[in-house]
Structures are given as structure tokens and as C-alpha cells.
Amino acid sequence: MNPLYIHDSLSGEKKEFTPVNPDFVGLYVCGPTVYSDVHLGNCRSFTSFDIVYRYLMYKGYNVRYVRNITDAGHLEGDADINADDKMAKAAKALKLEPMEVAHRYTLGFHKMMDVFNNLPPSVEPRATGHITEQIRMVQDILKNGYAYEVDGSVYFDTVKFAKENAIYGELSGRKLDDLQAESRELKNQGDKRHSADFALWIKAEPTTLQVWESPWGLGFPGWHLECSAMSTKYLGSEFDIHGGGEDLKFPHHENEIAQNCGACGKSPVRFWMHGNMLLLNGKKMSKSIDPETGVSNSVMPDELFEGKSPFFSKPYSPMVLRFLMLQAHYRSPLDLTDEGIQAAEKGYIRLMEGQRALAEMKYEGEEALTSEDQQVNALMERALKDMDDDFNVPKALASLFVLVNKINSFKSGRASVNAISKETFEKLQKFFADFVFVIFGLKDETQGGDEGSSEIVDGLMEFILEMRQSARANKDWGTSDKIRDTLNALKIQLKDGKDGTTWTVNN
């Protein structure tokens, strides 16, 4: 196996990856808070880590992929006290029990992950499902002297921890002095000793909807706690990779490290991976209405798929969006624009057509080894090396497009497929399909429909193309025009090539 290098956000370095545990690679990704529909920015982040998961499996690792569902304890503005609870707010607005809200948006989230063709994780633990484990972790932190209880709430003693542990602030670059300087202007510190402290367990108010019994009375866990408790439970106190969006570095991940160190005495994660933002027309997405334009700089996945966003000239399919995401490295920002996604649509169709042409191509005749063979092999190696270099998907994709050019030249007859060896040809077929479907997780939408239907469409199209050919041969222009109009109306595009006519559906 070629070595894999991953950029670790904590050390800021690209390091060779070796698993902590010989049996499995532990991958933990912060999942959604299920109080509303999932955002497009979240979808980018989950898709980036889906490709990490897929590529690790492709390399032969047995991966235990844990992605949590936050269904309690997440307060507005990522505050840890004195703010509305996101679940409770949604429950009141929708007149539902909080767990009905959680279930509704968990289902919606799963559906959206399916739409993007993201694989489900191996375990999907819920915050509410791990109260005993979280309470236990708070007890351990208390025992180790890094937390204190005040009136039914328990706070992490950041000042003490930071004094004794140089790791505090490493991930986010926000050191304690800066936090204390910031805090002079802050209010609402509640019973905290220091403004940089954060809540591990929060005492319930009489109106709190989600409460559990604890050694400190009725309450609920702080948001940061669940990830520490659940990653430890399913992956151990030290595991391989922890992923999440850039915006989670502080306070969420910084505090996770503090909690894990505070409870278990060691830094939990070998590789911290952070995905960059998805921008819309060069600006951060935001739900707030721009007074000048009267619209908010945001777009939801369904709006994009259904063509209902004012920022886009037409609908774009989920696979086109996935393809767009492949075009940027996960650590770079990605700007979503109408022009950009239109170009991605063309690229996606081109890649799929290349894949299909290659899959249907037959190697015939003799081998005439040329420099072509070396080039094809070098391109395949290049793509794998790029993936091994911190999952450089856009670079690997570029090599695939050079290969598409080669495939097209074989197909059109401009070059002979015999210029490469039979072995290379077969390797290329497998390599290409693996990259497109297994690693990149694309589906071929250009052939349209589910299997049953698409069989029928294929059968009907085969018949219609025969009719068209015989109408043309008989100079029956009436029939051939009628076929053209029918197919146009159904957005079916024909392409006449040397091996006959092929067709695609333009969605």
C-alpha cells in the first residue's frame, strides 16, 4: 500500500497516516444538529468526509466511521449557557415533542445524504442516547480536578487546564490570554469562575424540555461533551481521524480536546481534519435578508435541485453539485455560482460519457505498445498519488480528464486502443469505474431513472433508433422529423458516432 499523507489541523502539518489500532481505522465526524433542514454548507462537509471514508476503504482499511446526531444540548449561537436551546425552540415552533423534531430532521438528513450518494456511517450515535456515558465523563473530569460544580451545573476549569496543559488553544490558535481579554466585555457568565470556562452539565430550568437525572440534579449535557463521550465509547480514548467543518474548531473541537485530556489524560485524535466553507457568489451564506436586494445570500439543497433559487438560472442535479464539490480541495473554500455549476454540469456529463464509452469499449486485435501505454499508466499512478496527498480530489480529477481525452480518441478512432496493452486497458477500465463510482461516489444520472424504468426506456429507445435509421434509409423524412421532435420534447439528445447512435437525457 502506498503511504497516505493527511494534513493535521492541530499540528498544522501533513503527516504520514498509520492507524492507532491494527483492526480498524477510527473516523469520527461531527454530524448535524437535527432542529432544521440540513444546509448546503453541511452537505459539502459531509461529502468531503464521505470521500475520505470511501478512499480509506478503497485503500483496504477496515473503517469504523462514527457520525453523531446532536439531538440535545446545542444552544443558539453555539453558546454554552444563557441561550435558547435549538431543539426546544424548534419543538415549540412546530408544536412537537423535541424527539419528534429530532426524528423528523434526522429522516430529512438521511434522505439528503442519500441524494448526495453519501454512504451511511458505521455507527450513528445520538447525544440523548449517551447520557450515562456523558455523566461518567463529567465525573472523571471532576475527579481529575479540571471541573467544578456550582448550583447543579458543572463547568470545565479552562484556566487550570490551560496552565497545566500546553495543548489548550493549539487547534484554534485562541490562547487563554486572548479569551480573557475578549471576555472583559462579555456578560452572561452565570456561575462560571472565568469567562473561558464552559459548561459540561447544565442545570435544568422548570421550563426546560429535555432533562435527565444526574449526580448534580436534573439537567442536560453541554454540547461539546457528547462528541468526547461518544468518540471515546466507540473509537477509544485515542483514535485516528476527527473531522468537521472549519467553524467547529472553536469552541467545539478545542473544548473536545480539553475534555478528553481532562478525563483520560491524553490528546484523543491523531489527525484533525477540517473542511473549508461553501460560499455563494463569493460571500458567506447567511439567512439574514440583504436590505438592498431583499433576498438572503443563501440557497438550500432542494432550491438548487428544483431550480427555485433566484441565484441560479436553472435546476442542477445532486450529482452535478457533487461533481462541483470534487473540483475544490476540501481545505479550500468553494464558491458556488451559476457559471461555476453550469461548467460543472458539462464536466460531469463529459466524465460520465467517458466512463460509459470506456466500459462499453472492446479491446480487439494486437498489442502495439507505444509511449501511450506509459502515459496511461502514469496518469493512473498520478491520480492515486494525488489522493494519497491529503485527498487531493481536484488534482486526481484532472488526471481523469486527461484519460477521458484518451478514451475519446480511442472511441472516435483518432487513436487505436491497441496502442496500449490489453493489461493496461483492463486496468484502466477498472481504475476508471473505481474512481468515478467507488471513490468519488458519483452516480450516472445521464442515463436517467431507476433500473426497472431505465430498462424500459433503453428498450423503447433501441426500437425508436431502429425506426429512425430505417426512416432515414427510406428517405421518410416525415417519420424521422417526428422522432426528432418527440425526443427533443423529452430532452433526449442523440449523438451519431462511428459505432452507431447513442443517446443521453439532459435533465
| Interface residues toward a second copy, by CB under 8 A | 64, 96-97, 99-100, 102-104, 107, 110, 120-126, 128-132, 136, 212-213, 234, 448-450, 452-457, 459-461, 463-464, 467, 482-483, 486, 489-490, 492, 505, 507
Distance CA 32, CA 124 (A): 11
How far from the centroid of its chain's Cα atoms is residue 501's Cα?
37
In the complex with a second copy, the residue whose CB is nearer, 43 or 113, is 113
Residues 53 and 179: their CA atoms lie apart, in Å, by: 35
> Distance of alpha carbon 482 from its chain centroid, rounded?
45
Query: Which residue, 215 or 310, is less far from a second copy as judged by CB?
Result: 215
Q: Which is nearer to a second copy, 143 or 163 (CB)?
A: 143
Tell me how far CA of residue 294 lies from CA of 205, 232, 267, 291, 310, in angstroms. 39, 46, 47, 5, 11
Cβ-based nearer residue to a second copy, 478 or 500:
478
**Residue 9 CB, nearest approach to a second copy (Å):** 27
- The CA-to-CA distance between both ends of the chain, in Å, stands at 40
Query: Which residue, 135 or 341, is less far from a second copy as judged by CB?
Result: 135
To a second copy, the closest distance from the beta carbon of 72 in angstroms equals 11
User: Which residues lie across from 150 on neighbouring strands?
Assistant: 153
DSSP 121-157: PSB--BGGGGHHHHHHHHHHHHHTTSEEEETTEEEE-
Taking the complex as a whole, how short is the minimal distance between the CB of residue 448 and a second copy, in angstroms?
Answer: 6
Cβ distance to a second copy smaller for residue 6 or 69? 69
For 280, residues 6+ apart whose C-beta sits below 8 A from its C-beta are: 297, 298, 299, 311, 335, 336, 337
Q: How far apart are CA 128 and CA 210, in angstroms?
A: 9
* Pair 252, 224: CB distance under 8 Å: yes
Closer to a second copy by Cβ: residue 296 or 506:
506
> 478: burial class by Cβ within 10 Å (0-12, 13-18, 19+)?
exposed
Cβ proximity of 504 and 447 under 8 Å: yes
Q: How far is the CB of 135 from a second copy (least distance, A)?
A: 8
Q: In this complex, which beta carbon is closest to a second copy, that of residue 233 or of residue 395?
A: 233
**Distance in Å, CB of 249 to a second copy, minimum:** 27
Which residues in 107-139 are b (16+ Cβ under 10 Å) and which e? Answer: ebbeebbebbbbeebbebbbbbebbebbbebbb
* Burial of 422: CB neighbours in 10 Å, binned 0-12, 13-18, 19+: middle
Q: Edge-to-edge, what's the strand order for the sheet holding 198-203?
A: 147-150, 153-156, 198-203, 219-221
Q: Closest separation between CB of residue 129 and a second copy, Å?
A: 3
- CB closer to a second copy out of 30 and 69: 69
- d(CA 254, CA 260) in angstroms, rounded, equals 10
> Among residues 30 and 384, whose Cβ is nearest to a second copy?
30
Q: Please tell me the distance from the alpha carbon of residue 447 to that of residue 454, in angstroms, as a whole number.
A: 8
Q: Closest distance between a second copy and the C-beta of residue 214, in Å?
A: 8
**Separation of alpha carbons 245 and 228, rounded Å:** 17
Which of 305, 363 has the CB closer to a second copy?
Answer: 305
**What are 162's three cell numbers?**
490551560
> What minimum distance in Å lies between the beta carbon of 43 and a second copy?
19
Residue 459 CB, nearest distance to a second copy (Å)?
Answer: 4
Question: Nearest distance from residue 444's CB to a second copy, in Å?
Answer: 13
DSSP bridge partners of 70? 33
Sheet holding 63-67, edge to edge: 63-67, 25-29, 239-245, 269-275
Smallest separation, CB 358 to a second copy (Å):
24
Shortest reach from residue 505's CB to a second copy, in Å: 7
Return the number of the residue (57 or 343) whose C-beta is nearest a second copy: 57
